[in-house]
């Protein structure tokens, strides 16, 4: 970033490949994970919102380039191509078939940020598959840069970003110096619809592949997923005639 200017040179946006939010998730019969064969996969919805915000910042003339990044197998190219069709300038796939935890992913993004010289990292506040909501915070910590999480509004003003955050008590507005990490909440924007001409143009945009070794990152996991199981079946409800019947039913279940 050229300090004193009103433009961010480069924005990196993370796009995670997840089971589409309209799909009912099924656990594999052996309990080793979630079934993905033949299942529709999409960009994590919060990441799509983050990308839309990055594109709007660039379209306002406040950024020069938007780079979409995904981590995973070659199948993640599909989500990156969607990101390119939305308007990202180029994409990077960090190719790996290993399952990674949040800290390793944060280290990967830190390596990419330093390699690309990014001024802003925009991420979804969480992924709908694990709901961990930690990657943005971890990246800011190991990058030693400010963070603004759960953003519902972002305004770039020179070398700072003014971010309105959704918190338990309502809304709060903070300013952070750039470079920084911002995570997008649901009400930040409405992502644009991708049209066929944009999909065709995206095929000509650059999509580079790099490995963990290229970035100097080791897949040293702090958390290991050992097994998966579906939630217990919901018990059938009962109908009571009055308050006394309700109290009696709760006592029978040991709830009062």
- 3-state secondary structure string across 198-245: HHHHHCCCCEEEECHHHHCCCCCCCCCCCCCCCCCCCCCCCCCCCHHH
pLDDT of residue 5: 53
What percent of the chain is helix, strand and coil (3-state, nearest 5)?
30, 30, 40
Tokens coding 241: 């005639």
Chunked mean pLDDT (size 10), the chain, 256 residues: 63 95 86 84 96 96 95 94 96 91 93 95 93 92 96 93 91 95 95 92 94 90 81 83 89 83
pLDDT of residue 3: 42
Count the neighbouring beta carbons within 10 Å of the beta carbon of residue 251: 10
For the domain covering 8-252, report its CATH number: 3.40.50.620
| Alpha carbons 54 and 102: distance in angstroms, whole number | 22
pLDDT of residue 6: 60
pLDDT of residue 146: 97
Model confidence, pTM: 0.85
Instruction: Enumerate the domain spans of the chain.
Output: 8-252
């Amino acid at each position: 970033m050229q300090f004193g200017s009103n433009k961010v040179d480069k924005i990196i946006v993370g796009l995670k490949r997840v089971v589409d939010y309209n799909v009912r998730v099924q656990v594999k019969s052996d309990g080793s994970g979630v079934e993905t064969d033949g299942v529709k996969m999409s960009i994590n919805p919060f990441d799509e919102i983050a990308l839309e915000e990055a594109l709007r910042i660039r379209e306002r003339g406040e950024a020069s380039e938007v780079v979409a990044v995904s981590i995973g197998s070659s199948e993640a190219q599909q989500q990156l191509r969607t990101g390119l069709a939305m308007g990202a300038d180029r994409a990077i796939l960090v190719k790996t078939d290993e399952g990674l935890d949040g800290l390793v992913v944060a280290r990967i993004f830190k390596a990419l940020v330093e390699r690309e010289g990014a001024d802003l990292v925009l991420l979804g506040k969480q992924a709908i598959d694990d709901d961990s909501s930690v990657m943005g915070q971890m990246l800011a910590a190991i990058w030693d840069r400010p963070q603004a999480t759960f953003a519902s509004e972002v305004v770039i003003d020179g070398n700072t970003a003014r971010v309105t955050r959704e918190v338990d008590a309502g809304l709060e507005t903070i300013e952070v110096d750039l470079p920084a990490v911002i995570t997008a909440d649901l009400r930040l924007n409405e992502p644009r619809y991708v049209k066929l001409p944009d999909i065709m143009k995206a095929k000509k945009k650059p999509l580079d592949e790099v490995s963990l070794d290229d970035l100097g990152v080791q897949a040293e996991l702090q958390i290991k997923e050992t097994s998966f199981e579906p939630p217990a079946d919901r018990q059938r409800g009962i109908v009571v005639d009055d308050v006394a019947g309700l109290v009696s039913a709760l006592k029978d279940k040991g709830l009062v």
